Amino acid sequence: MKNITTPEELEEVLPSDAEEILHHGHVPPRWSGALWLDKTLEWVVGAAILAELVVILLNIMVRVVTGDSVLWTQEVSEIALLTIAFIGGAIAYPKGAHMSVQALIMRLPAAWKPYLAALVDWLVFVMSAGAFALFVPTLVQQIEEKTPILQLPVFWVSLPFSVGMVLIAWFALLKLWRQDRRPVLIAAGIAAILIVLVLVAQPLFYYATPNLLLGVVLLLLFVLLFLGLPIAFVLALASGIYLYLGGISEVSAIPIGMASGAKGFVLLAIPFFILAGTVMNSAGLTLPLAKLVDALIGHLRGGLLQVVVVTMYIFSGISGSKVADVAAVGTTMRGMLEERKYPRGEVVAVLSASAIMGETIPPSIVLLILGSITTISTTTLFLAGFVPAAFLALCVMALVFFRARKQGGVASPKSSWRERGSATFFAIPTLLLPVGMVVGILSGFATPTEVSSVAVAYAFILAAAYRHGSKRLLGDTLRETTTTAGMVLFIIAAASPLAQTLALAGVSQQIHDLMSGLGDSPLLFMLFTIVLLIIMGQLLEGLPAVLIFAPLLLPIAVDFGVNPVQYAMVLIISMGIGSFAPPAGVGFYVACATAHETVEKSLKHFWPYLIAVFLGLLVLAAVPWFSTFLPALAGLIPF
């Protein structure tokens, strides 16, 4: 038998985990406990994404030809979306892909960590098993109900939630089985004590004031966050505990709210945008963009760091994910940056600041979600995001310019017009993707979901035309998308009942009363919420914070005379600063890993850029024009 030295050769024998076997010398444990189950679950979610892609593309073609839409696509979309959210979200858990706060855990003694890990898995098991048990009566009731068009049992629509909860419970038990027995048993005892405390505490809170109850639950929420419990599970548990202790509503409202929170035709754009960005990354299609920008502005002082900022601005319109932007642009340009001797810490700083800037560039996932949970249209948000991002990009580029002499790095030689023309020619096919998506949505020709489905098809065609990526591009990108999209949609589902719970608790009115007591100044309200949102962005990793606080704060902003479109931009960028700012901002650590630099060395480079972006945010908060100019020009909002 020949020696096996490459993943490709190993794939002929063992088609899965070839890279890990070569590098680590063993087959890694199956995250589901069995290879067949691993592959089955991934392909179920992958098939849901592909089936939905085909259905949406079919609907577009039918509408273009006949002028009518295919009515049953809404029901198929709902089943597909719930499959991606809950089975994909379940897959993300054993893979460690769910967002969690690790800032405290990283600083704890090593001896404590096995106990915390076991406690987290027990809490996940309790939450998922409890959600399944509470949802069973609803599931049984839906057996007799039919969907209006296809006449399918509504049971099939809700089944993915139940399957997802069962899978998560199984994965939690499997993870516990693989850990040392002592930490698992001790953690089980701690989890049991916590459950008993919650159960016996209900009579004590029966006559408690709403503020006291809310304060206790929020304290518990932050404790669970800092224990390292994935954010999605923290949100669901906090909602359930609040409803139970307060006796306000049946706890069964939590699983029902989660299942409802993942529905919505516009949410289908999320897995499609993620898939399109993943294909572009895997096929190496970011490089033509970087080369074009280098040919145009690489000769300026700051050279390739200026190129990084502009490339991030363009690429943010493709992937829809800031972490994906950092990884794609940072990996693509790493060789060029190292060759020109740019300090790695400075690269980390510029990547992170540029990613914050890109939070409002369409088709940002955050903009899509904000449009689905507020009264502001997605088209308005998309138009509003361009100018604030461009202003912040200029702030970052100005700082790069002034720091260039001290930081070093060799600027690119000035390109000839012929070289620029050649770079433009090769970059045009890639540029057509973000431009086409934005034009399609803003023109009203297609919905964000339809545009995102076309973007996926175009990305695959482009990858095939360039002959970039492996023969397994479809399978590899689908596998990655199932995990990422599942995690994002699961968080959206879990945040939905918490947002409803906070609204029920009157948090919005309490914030309004607090701000009114400090004065009716819109600027003071802006400053207060910027600080609040940066902190929440740190703790909740940006997206969950938007889901929770946007519905609460936007109505208050309107009461204080703040333009809601301007406030939406300020809210998103504040969350972005929080999700990239140390010590808990995960985006900063992704940038460090991408640039192969330590956190300690990168921090001293990052602070000036973080301050520059923060000052830029204050300007955006003080001057509505940046956010409102383009929507007003398009007639979407008054001047």
Domain boundary, last residue among 263, 284, 310? 263
Question: Is 638 domain-assigned?
Answer: no
Phi, psi (degrees; rounded to nearest 5) at 146 = -120, 150
Model pLDDT for residues 342-388, shown as the tens digit of each residue: 888 888 888 889 888 888 888 778 888 888 888 888 889 989 999 99
Q: Count structural domains, the chain.
A: 3
CA distance 547 to 4: 49
Contact predicate 470/208, CB 8 Å: no
Is the per-residue pLDDT at 5 higher than 60?
Answer: no
Residue 157's region, left for phi above 0, alpha for psi from -120 to 50, else beta, is alpha
User: What tokens appear for 64 in the block?
Assistant: 């273009």
Quick check: helix, strand or coil at residue 32?
coil
pLDDT given at position 26? 40
Phi, psi (degrees; rounded to nearest 5) at 377 = -70, 150
Are 290 and 418 found together in one domain?
yes
Are 259 and 338 found together in one domain?
no
Are 255 and 318 found together in one domain?
no
The type of residue at 127 is: M
- DSSP state letters, 95-113: TT-S----TTGGGS-GGGH
Phi, psi (degrees; rounded to nearest 5) at 597 = -130, 150
User: What tokens appear for 299 in the block?
Assistant: 């000769």
Model pLDDT for residues 200-239, shown as the tens digit of each residue: 888 877 777 777 888 888 888 888 888 889 988 988 998 8
Are 374 and 456 found together in one domain?
yes
Question: Is 331 domain-assigned?
Answer: yes
Are 412 and 530 found together in one domain?
yes
Are 510 and 570 found together in one domain?
yes
Are 45 and 25 found together in one domain?
no
CA distance 430 to 428: 5
Question: Is 639 domain-assigned?
Answer: no
The type of residue at 99 is: M
Is the per-residue pLDDT at 295 higher than 80?
Answer: yes
Question: Is 558 domain-assigned?
Answer: yes
Question: Is 26 domain-assigned?
Answer: yes
Domain boundary, last residue among 263, 291, 308? 263
Are 164 and 69 found together in one domain?
yes
pLDDT given at position 64? 80
pLDDT given at position 623? 92
Phi, psi (degrees; rounded to nearest 5) at 129 = -65, -40
Range 40-43 contact pairs with CB under 8 angstroms and sequence separation of 24 or more: 41/87, 41/90, 41/91, 41/167, 42/91, 42/478, 42/479, 42/482
Domain boundary, last residue among 198, 233, 263? 263
Are 385 and 321 found together in one domain?
yes
CA distance 180 to 177: 8
pLDDT given at position 216? 83
Are 21 and 82 found together in one domain?
no
CA distance 147 to 149: 6
Question: Is 468 domain-assigned?
Answer: yes
Quick check: helix, strand or coil at residue 153?
strand
Contact predicate 606/348, CB 8 Å: yes
Range 150-157 contact pairs with CB under 8 angstroms and sequence separation of 24 or more: 150/72, 150/75, 150/76, 152/75, 156/79, 157/75, 157/78, 157/79, 157/82
Are 340 and 465 found together in one domain?
yes
CA atoms within 13 A on the CB side of 160: 30
Which ranges in 148-268 belong to alpha helices (H)?
154-177, 181-205, 210-226, 231-246, 253-261
CA distance 575 to 316: 16
pLDDT given at position 27? 40
Are 195 and 312 found together in one domain?
no
Domain that holds residue 43: 35-263
Task: Give the confidence band of 32 by pLDDT, cuts at 50, 70, 90.
Answer: low
